[in-house]
Chain A
Amino acid sequence: MEPFKKVKSIVTPLDKINVDTDQIVPKQFLKLVQKSGFGKFLFYNWRYDENENLKSDFVLNDSKYDHSKILVAGDNFGCGSSREHAVWALQDYGFSVVIAPSFADIFFSNCLKNGILPISLDQKIVEKLQQEMGVIEVDLEKQIIKTPSQEISFEIDSHKKKILLEGLDDIAQTFQFEDKISEFEKESKIPSVL
């Protein structure tokens, strides 16, 4: 995973609550066996009509957001299916930060595993950010979002912050505890399946 760097960009406002991962990547695109190339399927049914023409009323189709790296969405973002393809699509499309009042648990965890920073903020602050027209800066190191008019601090677990900032291999980190895992297995009451 690439180390997470400061992100400077305008925000893409997605003014919807309960956006589920079926909307982020519809199921017909889950059959690929690799992680790359999902960006073109992001919000597919909202971006394209039945003839595969761009729908003019969807925010991602407004060219001013073409280079935006920060998505600001409504409450309970990423609910539903556990498909990590949703995060691969956001990342491949160019987003590296998602801000919302709250996230579904599995989606939140999937973001962190792929170098996307999910930030949950108070609903009023999120609504204000959705109106923000200027460039904002997300500084993970300092846990601060700088907008043209204010600085907003955010919370993140220190272990997750370290993994993101250093772009660490999660599994290699866990292997440091291999002895403890083996020890646990010796004591475990639950037998093998086979």
Chain B
Amino acid sequence: MGKTLFEKIWDSHIVEKQNGSSLIYIDRHLVHEVTSPQAFDGLRMNKRKVRRPDLTIATMDHNVPTTDRSLPILDQTSAVQIQTLEENCKDFGIKLFDITSPNQGIVHVIGPQLGITLPGSTIVCGDSHTSTHGAFGALAFGIGTSEVEHVLASQTLWLEKPKPFEIRVEGKRKNPHAVTAKDIVLSIIKNIGTGGGTGTVFEYRGQGITDLSMEQRMTICNMSIEAGARAGLIAPDEKTYDYLRGRQYTPKNYESLVDYWKENLKTDSDAKFEKQFTLHIDDIAPQVSWGTNPGMTCDVTESIPYPDEFSKGDLNQKKGAEKALDYMGLEPGTPIKDIKIDRVFIGSCTNARLEDLIEASKIIKGQKISRNVRAMVVPGSQMVKKQAEEMDLDKIFINANFEWREAGCSMCLGMNPDILSPGERCASTSNRNFEGRQGTGGRTHLVSPVMAAAAAIKGHFVDVREMDLS
């Protein structure tokens, strides 16, 4: 029987097998300031080295301020964590893109941009959104700090093999500028649920996927974890190979690797998936989350659901929906378009790449944001920021009264000063609408960059399909 792409990558990285677990070799290890200090401490305590500093890359993204980089970091605990990463990288010989580096940025944005992410490789990071790199046909997944230490010391991990799950995305969007990759992935999560992918690795397939650009594919793979999947990947094609060609850290023998990947990195026609889900995208609408997990999402044309209707008879789901609506301060039956917002955040490893900013800027151009809204753009990396500035996108946003910030995770998780105040409602291009995620008491609605931009101008949600996006 044939193998899936995931199984091929898995099998080609097995170092050893014991009972139900395999010792898997890790080709790329990305490190950031929040989930690594305890791992380096563990190495020190046991007098261990980093086995392969040459396969390890670090940056600081989670709690860096997004304001002027020449100023000192005011939050002392953040400053200590950042300084700790600097010391650890120095002590263990790891390449670090620090806060002043032109390569600094969200770890999942810089990996592909620098050509560090490669098809067919295994990539880990102490961050659940590592699934992003799966867009390049890599097996990429988030790990905890103990596993970070294990990879630093041994360049391997003991893992139980997840099951392959086929997500087919079929059809063609009528308006690809208004209905985006974010809407596709939110639709998938809405359908299979936040635990629907637990114990599996998604392979996204079908015309709806191959039609997407690399940056859009990253948005899809990024949110695999929000459906509970360990990872999500897409078979590489010419778009993948073109994207990685000639980047700063693209390997010297790249073309011979491409030849090898073309032969090997695809799911065999007779391979079997354990699970399957198909989404038809011809008629899907822009999505807006209304609750406190990404599965609590509906079309922009719909109204806030009644808990009974949402839960379909499941008492636990009903209780969850009631609690979510209470937290979100929303009444069932309210049209999504009637929901007023206070804040807009365009950023995060899901939606802060150049294409995202270009698409959002088309909505913003020549407009002003609503008087009642405070809005910010946080580019995913310093490189994205620079490219956007070369295209004068910063001016479009600033003229519309958006704040134009330095790169980092920022208000996606609010570890730095960019947070919501209690009760504030935010249209956010990030990936999680959990309680308090963007600030204690803050209320997050997940949307695409164009939906966020449109909401910033109108002060409430609008259906971007009704706007002129030409």
Contacts and interface: CB of A to CB of B under 8 A. Distances in A.
Interface of A: 15-18, 20, 22-23, 26-28, 30-35, 45, 50, 74-76, 79-84, 87, 102-106, 109-110, 113-114, 157-160, 169-171, 174-175, 177-178, 180-181, 184-185, 188-194
Given A159-B158, A192-B55, A180 B194 contact: no
Contacts of A194: 54, 95, 249
A31 B228 CA distance: 25
B81 A34 contact: no
Q: Which A-B residue pairs are the 10 nearest by beta carbons?
A: A113-B146, A76-B195, A33-B37, A110-B144, A84-B144, A192-B54, A31-B77, A82-B142, A84-B145, A190-B27
B16 A171 contact: no
A106 B436 contact: no
A20 B291 CA distance: 14
B149 A171 contact: yes
Given A22-B437, A82-B128, A84-B145, A190 B118 contact: yes
A97 B317 CA distance: 25
Interface string B1-45: 000000000000001101111010101100000110110010000
Given A84-B144, A177-B15, A30 B37 contact: no
B195 A106 contact: no
Contacts of A33: 37-38, 41, 80-81, 84
A157 B17 CA distance: 13
A180 B25 CA distance: 10
Interface stretch (B119-127, B238-246, B297-305, B383-391): B119-127
B160 interface: yes
B316 A75 contact: yes
A45 B27 contact: no
B206 interface: no
B422 interface: yes
B103 interface: no
Contacts of B171: none
A193 B95 contact: yes
A110 B15 contact: no
Nearest to B295: A18
A160 B19 CA distance: 10
A33 B257 CA distance: 39
Nearest to B229: A105
B301 to A, nearest CB: 26
Contact of B146 (A84, A160, A192): A84
Given A31-B81, A106-B128, A159-B19, A113 B144 contact: yes
Given A84-B144, A104-B195, 16 more contacts: A16-B323, A20-B432, A20-B434, A26-B440, A28-B414, A31-B415, A34-B37, A80-B128, A82-B126, A84-B145, A84-B146, A104-B228, A105-B228, A110-B145, A170-B158, A193-B54
A49 B78 CA distance: 24
A107 to B, nearest CB: 8
B376 to A, nearest CB: 18
B284 interface: no
Nearest to B57: A193
Contact of B16 (A26, A75, A180, A185): A180
B413 interface: yes
B353 interface: no
Given A26-B436, A194-B249, A18 B55 contact: no
A18 B422 CA distance: 22
Nearest to A192: B54
A33 B35 CA distance: 9
B62 to A, nearest CB: 8
Nearest to A110: B144
Given A157-B20, A192-B54, A105 B198 contact: yes
Nearest to B54: A192
B391 to A, nearest CB: 29
Contacts of A109: 143-144, 147
B467 to A, nearest CB: 33
A104 B20 contact: no
A31 B78 contact: yes
B129 to A, nearest CB: 9
A82 B32 CA distance: 13
Nearest to B145: A84
26 contacts: A20-B432, A22-B432, A22-B436, A22-B437, A26-B436, A31-B63, A45-B435, A50-B422, A74-B316, A81-B432, A82-B142, A84-B35, A84-B145, A109-B143, A109-B147, A110-B147, A171-B153, A171-B154, A174-B23, A180-B16, A181-B156, A185-B155, A193-B28, A193-B56, A193-B57, A193-B95
Contacts of B225: 80
B149 A79 contact: no
Given A157-B19, A159-B19, A189-B257, A184 B415 contact: no
Nearest to A177: B16
A79 B154 contact: no
Contacts of B46: 169, 171
Interface in B229-287: 230, 249, 251-253, 257, 260
